[in-house]
Amino acid sequence: MNITKKCNTCKKDKLLICFNKGKNYKFGVRAECKQCLKEYRKDNKEKIMKYRKDNKEKIIETRKEYYKNNKEKMMEYHKEWYKNNKEKISEYHKEYYKNNKEKISEYKKEYRKDNKEKIMKYRKDNKEKMMKYNKEYYKNNKEKMMEYHKEYNKEYYKNNKEKINETRKEYYKNNKEKINETRKEYYKNNKEKISKYYKEYNKNNKEKISEYRKEYKKDNKEKINETRKEYYKNNKEKISEYNKEYYKNNKEKNSII
């Protein structure tokens, strides 16, 4: 059985399917048919826009109320919509991001600045969740993240060279003994590993090293001479001892020559 209803506007008898749903109306549909509504909207565009503008809050409130009362239905609807438009949405987001990079970055910065405490509180309250999420993300994006870190560090170092070097120097000065102790300890415990690493490195970078040495010698002639002299002065006996030893052990070789 097809129930019909007379449209209040065009006065035609139409099937219920031709009317929009309306909770508070007879038969659960609105008084005017879809066609009339469409025409009305077309003819009254500006009036409708003005109404929307003038009643913004009321409309938002109504929507919220509706959403609250139809949560599951709406969630289901959104899920369905998202599922059916996944690629389109992702494409749209990418495109939007590409075209609004600076705006977005600016907005994010602004947001972080204005919500510092909120963000800190959220981080504190969700420590484990965040850590888990970060770990998961890092695991799934290892190469990307490594690339990003490298790039970031490089950029940061470039922009803060002096500051970093100053801090390093300062730290080294204030923690000399501790650092030396740690180094010694580390060296002692990793002797083989380190030696192997150096050998490997020397083998693979022969030319580079030789080039670097030459360069260094050229640039530090005086310093090197000074150091040599200093060393010689401070180790006279040791050197003389060593020379004697060497001479004794190579006597025959020397005599042959």
* Closest to Zn ion by CB, 39 or 145: 39
Q: Which long-range contacts (CB under 8 A, 24 or more apart) does 9-17 make?
A: 9/33, 9/36, 9/40, 10/35, 10/36
**Binding-site size, Zn ion (CB under 5 A):** 5
The distance of closest approach from Cβ of residue 16 to Zn ion in the complex, given in angstroms and rounded to an integer, is 13
The distance of closest approach from Cβ of residue 39 to Zn ion in the complex, given in angstroms and rounded to an integer, is 8
User: Interface mask (CB under 5 A) for Zn ion, residues 6-45, using x and -?
Assistant: -x-xx----------------------x--x---------
Q: In sequence order, what DSSP letters do the residues of 39-53 get, joined into one string?
A: HHHHHTHHHHHHHHH
The total number of residues shown for the chain amounts to 257
The distance of closest approach from Cβ of residue 47 to Zn ion in the complex, given in angstroms and rounded to an integer, is 19
The distance of closest approach from Cβ of residue 7 to Zn ion in the complex, given in angstroms and rounded to an integer, is 3
* Closest to Zn ion by CB, 29 or 33: 33
User: Which helix (H) or strand (E) element contains residue 62?
Assistant: helix 56-69
Q: Tokens at residue 40, please?
A: 């009305």
* Closest to Zn ion by CB, 35 or 145: 35
* Closest to Zn ion by CB, 9 or 145: 9
User: Which helix (H) or strand (E) element contains residue 139?
Assistant: helix 127-140
Chain-centroid distance, C-alpha 161: 22
Question: Rule CB under 5 A: which residues touch Zn ion?
Answer: 7, 9-10, 33, 36
